[in-house]
C-alpha cells in the first residue's frame, strides 16, 4: 500500500552547460551581502571562482568569502561559518562545490540566528529551526549527495565521535541550484566514482523497504539502470557530456525525496558508513561501499522478494530454474562486480578501520526502523567483521 504523504520541493534548478548565466536572474532577489562558501580551492584553479565572482560583482554584491569547507564538514567549521554570517549580516549563502559545501551552507543557514548550540538542537535532539533562516543557493561541481535539491545537512563532531545528518524541511532547501555537468569533468577519478556509488546507494536506501509494488520502486529501478549505464561510459570517457549529464541529473532525483514517497526507507548503510566516517574522516561514498554488501547479506532473508526483484529488474538476472535465494544472491554478486569495476573501496581496512574501533562505530550508529530488519548489536558486529 502506498502511504500517505505531502510533496513540496521549492528548489529551482538551472541545468546545462550555460546554466551559470541564470545566477544573474537569482541574485537580485536577495540583499547585498553574500557569503561565498567553497572547499579547498579547486574552483580557483579551474576558473569557476572567477566566473562566479564576476557575476556577483556585476550584480553589486558584497562578497564575504568562506573557504576551506572540508569533505566532512565539522562542528568547528560550522561555528566559524555562523560567526561569519552573523558578523556580516549575510543575506544569501552561495555554496560553490560538492555536497559537503551545500550541506555546510544549509547548516549555517539554520544556525546563524539560532539562540542555542546548533549541535545540540539539530543533531542531538533533532529539532526543527524556529529562528530566521538565511537563504541558500548552490552551484554544483561534484555529483553524488543530491544536497542541491534537499534539506539534508551532515555535520561531523570528532570530539563526540559522531557524524550525523539532519533532514530539514522545504524552508531550508536551496532556493536555487545551478547544475553544469562540465564542472564535474575535472574531478579526480576517486571523487567521481565515490559520488557515483553514493548516488546508487541513495536509491537503494529507499528501494529496499516495504513489500508492495509502488511507483517509487519502478522509478528507482530506472534510476539505478541509468547510473550503471552512464557510470561505465564515464569510467572510460570522463569527459563524455551525455554520461556526466545523466549522472548529475540522476543524483538529484535520487535524493530530492521523490522516490521516498510512500516508503518507510532504510538508511542503515548510511548510518553505519557515517559512523565509520566520524572516526576515519574517510570519503563518504567509500564508507558506504565498504559496508553495503555485508549489510545486504544480513537483511536479505527478511526482504527476499525485493532482492529477487532487484536482481531481475536492475541486473537482468534470469530466475528460470533457480530458487528465490539464488536469484537474489546473483543480484548481489552483480552489484559487487559493478562496484569492483568502479574501483570503490570494498573493505573497511582500506579506510583504516581496525577491530578495536568496532565499539565506537556501533555506538555512533543510529539504529533506524525503516528497513527489513532492526539490527541487533550482534548484527552490527557481523557486518563490520565481514566488511573488514
Predicted pLDDT at 1? 63
Query: Class of 12-183 per CATH?
Result: alpha beta
pLDDT band at 369 (very low <50, low <70, confident <90, very high): very high
3-state helix/strand/coil string of 187-231 = CCHHHHHHHHHHHHHHHHHHHCCCCCCCHHHHHHHHHHHHHHHHH
Note the pLDDT tens digit of each residue in 83-113.
Answer: 999 999 999 999 999 999 999 999 999 999 9
* b/e burial code for range 133-170 (CB count within 10 A of at least 16 → b): bbbbbbbbbbbbbbbbbbbbbbbbbeeeebbbbbebee
Predicted pLDDT at 4? 83
Predicted pLDDT at 6? 87
Predicted pLDDT at 5? 86
Residues of the chain with CATH 3.40.50.1970: 12-183
pLDDT band at 338 (very low <50, low <70, confident <90, very high): very high
Residue 270 CA to residue 284 CA, distance in Å, equals 9
Residue 368 CA to residue 155 CA, distance in Å, equals 18
Between 1 and 297, the more confident residue is 297
Q: What is the pTM of this model?
A: 0.96
Note the pLDDT tens digit of each residue in 230-257.
Answer: 999 999 999 999 999 999 999 999 999 9
Mean pLDDT score, 134-149: 96
CATH number for 189-387 (one of 3.10.129.10, 1.20.140.10, 1.10.10.10, 1.20.1090.10): it is: 1.20.1090.10
Predicted pLDDT at 370? 94
% of residues, the chain, pLDDT over 70:
99
Q: Name the residue with cell 568547528.
A: 76
Note the pLDDT tens digit of each residue in 23-60.
Answer: 999 999 999 999 999 998 899 999 999 999 999 999 99
Task: Report CA-CA distances (Å) from 2 to 21, 42, 259.
Answer: 40, 44, 12
CB count within 10 Å of CB 362 equals 18
Contact 13, 249 (CB under 8 A): no
Residues of the chain with CATH 1.20.1090.10: 189-387
Amino acid at each position: 500500500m502506498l502511504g500517505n504523504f505531502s510533496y513540496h520541493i521549492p528548489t529551482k534548478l538551472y541545468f546545462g552547460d550555460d546554466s551559470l548565466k541564470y545566477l544573474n536572474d537569482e541574485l537580485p532577489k536577495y540583499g547585498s551581502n553574500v557569503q561565498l562558501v567553497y572547499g579547498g580551492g579547486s574552483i580557483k584553479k579551474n576558473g569557476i571562482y572567477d566566473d562566479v565572482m564576476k557575476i556577483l560583482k556585476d550584480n553589486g554584491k558584497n562578497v564575504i568569502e568562506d573557504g576551506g569547507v572540508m569533505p566532512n564538514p565539522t562542528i568547528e567549521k560550522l561555528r566559524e561559518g555562523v560567526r561569519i554570517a552573523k558578523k556580516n549580516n549575510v543575506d544569501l549563502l552561495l555554496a560553490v562545490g560538492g555536497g559537503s559545501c551545500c550541506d555546510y551552507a544549509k547548516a549555517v543557514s539554520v544556525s546563524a540566528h539560532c539562540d542555542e548550540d546548533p549541535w545540540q538542537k539539530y543533531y542531538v535532539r533533532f529539532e526543527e529551526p524556529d529562528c530566521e533562516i538565511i537563504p541558500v543557493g548552490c552551484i554544483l561541481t561534484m555529483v553524488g549527495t543530491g544536497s542541491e535539491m534537499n534539506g539534508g545537512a551532515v555535520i561531523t563532531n570528532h570530539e563526540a565521535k559522531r557524524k550525523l545528518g539532519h533532514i530539514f524541511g522545504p524552508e531550508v532547501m536551496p532556493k536555487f541550484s545551478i547544475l553544469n555537468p562540465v564542472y564535474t569533468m575535472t574531478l579526480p577519478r576517486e571523487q567521481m566514482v565515490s559520488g557515483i556509488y553514493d548516488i546508487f546507494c541513495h536509491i537503494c536506501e529507499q528501494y529496499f523497504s516495504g513489500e508492495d509494488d509502488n511507483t517509487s520502486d519502478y522509478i528507482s529501478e530506472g534510476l539505478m539502470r541509468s547510473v550503471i549505464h552512464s557510470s561505465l561510459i564515464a569510467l572510460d570517457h570522463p569527459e563524455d557530456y551525455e554520461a556526466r549529464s545523466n549522472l548529475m541529473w540522476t543524483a538529484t532525483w535520487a535524493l530530492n525525496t521523490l522516490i521516498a514517497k510512500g516508503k518507510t526507507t532504510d538508511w542503515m548503510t548510511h548510518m553505519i558508513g557515517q559512523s565509520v566516517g566520524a572516526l576515519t574522516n574517510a570519503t563518504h561514498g567509500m564508507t558506504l561501499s565498504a559496508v553495503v554488501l555485508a549489510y545486504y547479506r544480513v537483511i536479505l532473508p527478511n526482504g527476499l522478494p525485493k532482492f529477487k526483484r532487484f536482481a531481475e529488474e536492475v541486473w537482468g538476472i534470469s530466475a528460470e530454474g533457480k530458487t528465490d535465494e539464488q536469484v537474489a544472491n546473483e543480484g548481489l554478486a552483480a552489484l559487487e562486480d559493478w562496484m569492483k569495476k568502479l574501483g570503490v573501496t570494498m573493505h573497511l581496512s582500506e579506510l583504516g578501520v581496525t577491530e578495536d574501533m568496532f565499539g565506537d562505530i556501533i555506538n555512533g550508529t543510529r539504529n533506524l526502523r525503516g528497513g527489513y530488519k532492526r539490527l541487533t548489536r550482534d548484527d552490527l558486529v557481523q557486518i563490520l567483521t565481514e566488511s573488514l
